[in-house]
Structure 1
Amino acid sequence: MEYSTYGRHIAVDVWGVDFDILNDAESLRHMMTEAADKCMAKVLSVRSESFDPNGCTIVLLLSESHLSIHTYPEKRFAAIDCYTCGQKADPQAAIDFLVEQLMPEKTYAKKLIRGIGEIEVVE
């Protein structure tokens, strides 16, 4: 089987998110797993770490690449990114779901198309 190098990588900063949401690693783990399901990605593993006094990092290793969140509850800020290879999994669906759940006051997003030297892709 031949694999494509094509991928989409979305990074989003969310501001103005409730402290308690950003400091609840267990709830965020579930939210992230659901986001991976929404974007049609296969979760291989989940790793999370809570920090003292607050904040957490959660990384989902996906068959298609990764989904991660790094939270700063004291700043009401989180940095989220999702990178998926191929055209089946849609990282935008994961990002949209997470933004909907987190209900930030502001978002700043960047989208990269990766591996396009191999094929011509129309978005």
Structure 2
Amino acid sequence: MPTAVHAPSGTHVLADLSGIAAEKLSSCAQLESLLRAAAEAAHAQVLFSHFHGFGEGLGVTGVVLLAESHISIHTWPECGFAAADIFMCGNAQPELALALIKDALQPSISQVSAMRRAPPAMLE
């Protein structure tokens, strides 16, 4: 059986970020740049990204696919809210990605949950 390059486990971080200035949440280009920088800060390898804006002053949904998994964001500028989903395996550090995202968006409230994910046999 071939040896895996990365163990099939990782850390999954979900973040609800509130109280963000609307102008930080409606630019596809700015959010894509932010998430790509977050991946780099976490020592992850970007494979591809795609972002979609829903119109002038409206939200954005976007994903950065990583060799280590993904980072995605969904924004609601009219509510000052962003939801981020960061899953990384291998040596990548998703907490570093989240720190960069929070530093850039400056939410007044952050609700974050993190879970270690692995096949059941690896968690024992």
Question: Sequence identity, in percent?
Answer: 32
- Alignment of 1:103 with 2:106, yes or no, is yes
1:4 maps to what in 2? 7
Secondary structure of 1:107 counterpart: strand
How many aligned residue pairs are there?
Answer: 120
Secondary structure of 1:26 counterpart: helix
Secondary structure of 2:36 counterpart: helix
Deviation for aligned residue 1:12: 0.2
Deviation for aligned residue 1:9: 0.3
Deviation for aligned residue 1:31: 0.7
Taking the aligned partners of 2:62 and 2:99, their CA distance within structure 1 comes to: 17
Deviation for aligned residue 1:6: 1.5
Deviation for aligned residue 1:116: 5.5
Unaligned runs of 5+ in 1: none
Select 2:64's aligned residue among 50, 60, 64.
60
TM-score when scaled to structure 2?
0.91
Query: Matches of residues 31-42 of structure 1 in structure 2 within 5 Å?
Result: 31-42=34-45
After superposition, give the CA deviation of every residue in 1:11-41 in whole Å (9 maximum; x if it has no partner). Answer: 0000000101101111111111100000000
Taking the aligned partners of 1:25 and 1:19, their CA distance within structure 2 comes to: 13
After superposition, give the CA deviation of every residue in 1:62-81 in whole Å (9 maximum; x if it has no partner). Answer: 00000011000000000001
TM-score when scaled to structure 1?
0.92
Query: Matches of residues 1-123 of structure 1 in structure 2 within 5 Å?
Result: 1-2=3-4, 3-53=6-56, 54-86=58-90, 88-115=91-118, 117-119=120-122
